[in-house]
Structure 1
Amino acid sequence: MVGYCIAAASVVVISGGWAAQTLQTFLGINIPWQVLAIIATAIVGVLVSRGISLSTTWAAIFFYFELILLVVGAVIMLVVNRGSISMAPFTIAAVTGGWKGIGLGFPLAIYLFIGWENSAMLAEETTNPRRNVPRALIVGTLSIGILYMFLSFATETAFHNDVKAITNSSLPFVDAFKASAAGILIIAYLAGVTSIFSSLIGLTNAQARILFSSAREGLLPPFFGKIHPQHRTPHAAMWTYIVVALVIVLGFGTFYNIDPVTLFGDTGTLGTIPVVVTYLLTNLALPVYMLRYHREDFNVFTHLIVPVVGTLLMLMPLWG
């Protein structure tokens, strides 16, 4: 829960930072990012506390809108910079520091996938969960992985594979798009806004239910297990989760005067570490669980070899 709250803080801070930058860039309006972060948090809090159907519908709308804009932007960058297309971004030799460089970047790579398990948290509220939850887990994770690689490849191509230029950019995708098609730069900013809202809705819906379930099982105080009398949502856990993330953001962003992009990177990395530990321990727990409770279904490859490999892979971001 601590890891997820810190990771959620990264989305909260960038919601305010990105909205402030968008308003300033296109409308010339200057509003403190902290104010916009509070507004975004309040909107998401109301949405998720009113029901899973309403909030996930809006999350899906925001996501697909973002998806279309990002893919269109990436295709434009590849077409404009087609002379720089190569397989260099996929080679280990192209990474600064080789495997050490990959290790250093791995925590942020894991951070990008945090929430892949969200659909499992919503199993109780899902139609035919035994069929639909595994589908969502597998299709969602693979699709997002492919999308990340495609967008990253387009971004690096737009930078003409110049590692130094990418490193000096605080917003590589936006800067790459600006250099390729400045006239329609608003596409990148709108995609950012909808992306942030869909992420904030999704993570609050799912991760707050961990807090709720823990209270329901007696692991945490009963307060977190309260259900809204009208909307039947775990509203106490939801508001606690998102408000704690907001407090982290306002505390460090205001008193330490950390800019939104830097604070996004800090909280994203720091929040990932306990989550990686959780993933690692879950891998180790799987064979024990299967042998103890479902020995007749135990499969050596699925329930032993795969989790062992997963555990070894999780050591990489921890070392990084």
Structure 2
Amino acid sequence: MSELTGLPETKTSQSGLQKNSLNWKHVTVLSLAGCGPAASIALNLQFMGQFAGISLVLAFLLVWPAILLLMNSLAQFSRHIHTAGGLYSYNLRTWGAKFGFVYGWVFLGAYMVLSAAGFAVFGGWLSEWLGSQFQVIIPWWLITLAAVAVVTALSIRGVTESMRTSLILVGFSVLVILVLALWILFTGGDSVSPGLSIEPLLPSGAGAAGWSGIGLAMSYAVLSHAGIEEGTTLAEEVKDPRRNVSKGLWLVALILPAFYILISYAMVHGYGIANIDAFGQDPAPLQTIAMHYWGEVGLGVVVIAAIVSILGFSQAGFLAGTRVLYTLGRDHVLPQWIGRSSIRKTPANASMVMGAITILLGVPLALVTGPFQVWGYFGFLIGIAFLISYIVTNVALIVYTRRIGVFSWWKHGVPAGAAALIFAYPLYRTVWPLPPGEYAVLPLVYIGWVVLGILLMAYTRAKRPEVLVRMMSEESKF
């Protein structure tokens, strides 16, 4: 098909994505950008403080082993399966076409929601900042539309250009937040409880909420890492994917959780351990801290860092979702033209579809609730989706490696099983008991999306059984 219209293309343009165009650094950048480290600090710490008090730092610490173990599972998978589908391909090859069909549907939905929420929040933050600082009034939705259009164009042009943009966005935002954290720690923190304390690392810091609150905070800690697997979707474009995908993933697993622990500790310390109740109720604790320690100018720098980080993870989620779309189209789960690459060997058709879906999901809801509240709803839903996805993928590694005859208890069994168990705890605390208000509906939304995927799979199996056969045959080529 042509790059824009979906009409028939030449054979060359349908030959897949550009091989050997990326390296392990690109895997690292996409996974880091997918998490949006500065954006996660800006968006998630408030909720974690509400649930776990100062023990929000402990929540990040407890999640770190699970992230390391998850990266081990993805690294082990990447040694055997090298496709743009990432976790979708891993589970398809493990569980078969029927399960893989539904998993791909659910996994794609998570990336769509991640991208939609990210771009809506980006528009809201930038619009508010321009209005408050420069009295420049631009509707948030116009900024969101423009950002989606630019990211879509970059995706059509090529992943290398997109990665360069992501590297700049991630590097700047992480550096600013890291400098702020170190400034707080070396200048002594708040005057109410000066000096460093181990309280944020103890369960008692959660107060009456106890381990239940820590479990809920862990779900947002996992949400802060959601997207860390996105580097796996570059496998078809990475040189020597067996080695370089694994290398890129391990680097992220080592540095990103450590960053979150350091920054969250500094934020709690800087706000004041005695003021943690106010921290949990503050709609923007990062901005409050930045204003207190750096003044108006520093606040502006921190807000810019958060904004570009939000754009960075939105773009990374967009790129990863595009490649899952592309893979599902190539497997004929979705219309075939989505899975055809352009003459430049980029997923152009999938990029345009992802752009349209991002707008249709994010903008209407944000017009009703406001762009900032979209993250509250969508973020909660994303957390559920990724927790379940990570649990299933860890179990899949055990099944897959036993099937192909390379299973090792110490490489596959124990690490993957432990990761699944750790992720199961915050999932349990997230859905039981159901949270109050409209948040109680969101687990049902997830279940409804799964049921819709099952019904679609059943219809496909009855009317187009060749699709399920083709899914496995296509994946076997990679």
TM-score (norm 2): 0.63
Deviations for 1:278-310, whole angstroms, at most 9, x for unmatched residues? 2111111111111111x1x21112211111111
Q: Report the secondary structure of 2:236's partner residue.
A: helix
Identity percentage over the alignment? 25
> Which string of whole-angstrom CA distances, capped at 9 and with x for unpartnered residues, describes residues 108-156 of structure 1?
2111111111111101111222221111111112211111111111111
Residue 299 of structure 2 corresponds to 185
Residue 273 of structure 1, aligned match among 380, 384, 391: 384
Quote the residue 1:113 is aligned against.
225
Matched, 1:202 2:316: yes
Report if aligned partners of 2:111, 2:318 keep a CA contact under 8 Å in 1.
no
CA distance in 1, matches of 2:114, 2:270: 29
The list of structure 1 runs, each at least 4 consecutive aligned residues, that deviate by more than 6 angstroms after superposition, is none
Distance 1:146 1:239 in 2: 36
Amino acid at match of 2:204: A
Report deviation, 1:250: 1.3
CA distance in 2, matches of 1:244, 1:35: 16
Match in the other structure for 2:42? none
The CA distance in 1 between the partners of 2:351 and 2:239, in whole Å, is 22
Distance 1:239 1:114 in 2: 23
Name the residue aligned to 2:341.
Answer: 227
Rounded Cα–Cα distance in structure 1 between residues aligned with 2:116 and 2:221: 17
Aligned to 1:302: 411
The CA deviation string for residues 35-62 of structure 1, in whole angstroms up to 9 with x for no partner, is: 1111111111111211011110111011
Matched letter for residue 176 of structure 1: I
Residue from 148, 152, 155 that aligns with 2:264: 152
1:241 aligned to which of 326, 342, 354: 354
Letter in 1 for 2:121: I
1:216 deviates by 1.2
Letter in 2 for 1:211: L
Number of residue pairs aligned between Structure 1 and Structure 2: 315
Report the AA paired with residue 151 of structure 1.
I
One-letter identity of the residue aligned with 2:407: F
Give the Cα separation in 2 of the matches to 1:124 and 1:17.
35
Aligned to 2:3: none
The equivalent of 1:289 in structure 2 is 400
Provide the C-alpha distance between the structure 2 equivalents of 1:219 and 1:125, rounded to a whole number of angstroms: 22
- Alpha-carbon distance in structure 2 between the residues aligned to 1:195 and 1:136: 20
Q: 2:266 & 2:385 partners in 1: Cα distance? A: 31
- 1:261 deviates by 2.2
Structure 1: gaps (5+ residues): none
Q: What is the rounded CA distance, in whole Å, between the counterparts of 1:246 and 1:81 in structure 2?
A: 45
Q: Distance in 1 between matches of 2:284 and 2:356?
A: 27
SS at match of 1:185: helix
Amino acid at match of 2:160: S
Instruction: Provide the secondary structure at the position in 1 that maps to 2:282.
Output: coil
Answer whether contact 1:18 1:193 (CA < 8 A) is retained: yes
Aligned to 2:363: 250
Write the distance in 2 (CA, Å) between the matches of 1:304 and 1:178. 48
Structure 2 residues without counterparts, runs of 5 or longer:
1-107, 431-478
Query: 3-state DSSP class of the match of 1:233?
Result: coil
The correspondence for 1:57, drawn from 144, 161, 164, is 164
Secondary structure of the equivalent of 1:44? helix
For the 8 Å contact 1:56–1:201, the answer to whether it is kept is no
For residues 167 and 246 of structure 1, the distance between their equivalents in structure 2, rounded to whole angstroms, comes to 31
Superposed CA RMSD: 1.6
CA deviation profile, 1:202-247 (whole Å, cap 9, x unmatched) = 2222222112112212332213202122x32112222222331222
**What amino acid does structure 2 have at the position aligned with 1:197?**
L
Q: Distance in 1 between matches of 2:221 and 2:264?
A: 12
Task: Measure how far apart 1:84 and its partner are.
Answer: 4.5
Mapped to 2, the partners of 1:78 and 1:291 lie a distance apart of 48
Please say which of residues 171-180 and 50-59 is displaced more in the overlay. Answer: 171-180
> Residue 150 of structure 2 aligns with which residue?
43
In 2, Cα distance between equivalents of 1:86 and 1:243: 48
Report the secondary structure of 2:227's partner residue.
coil
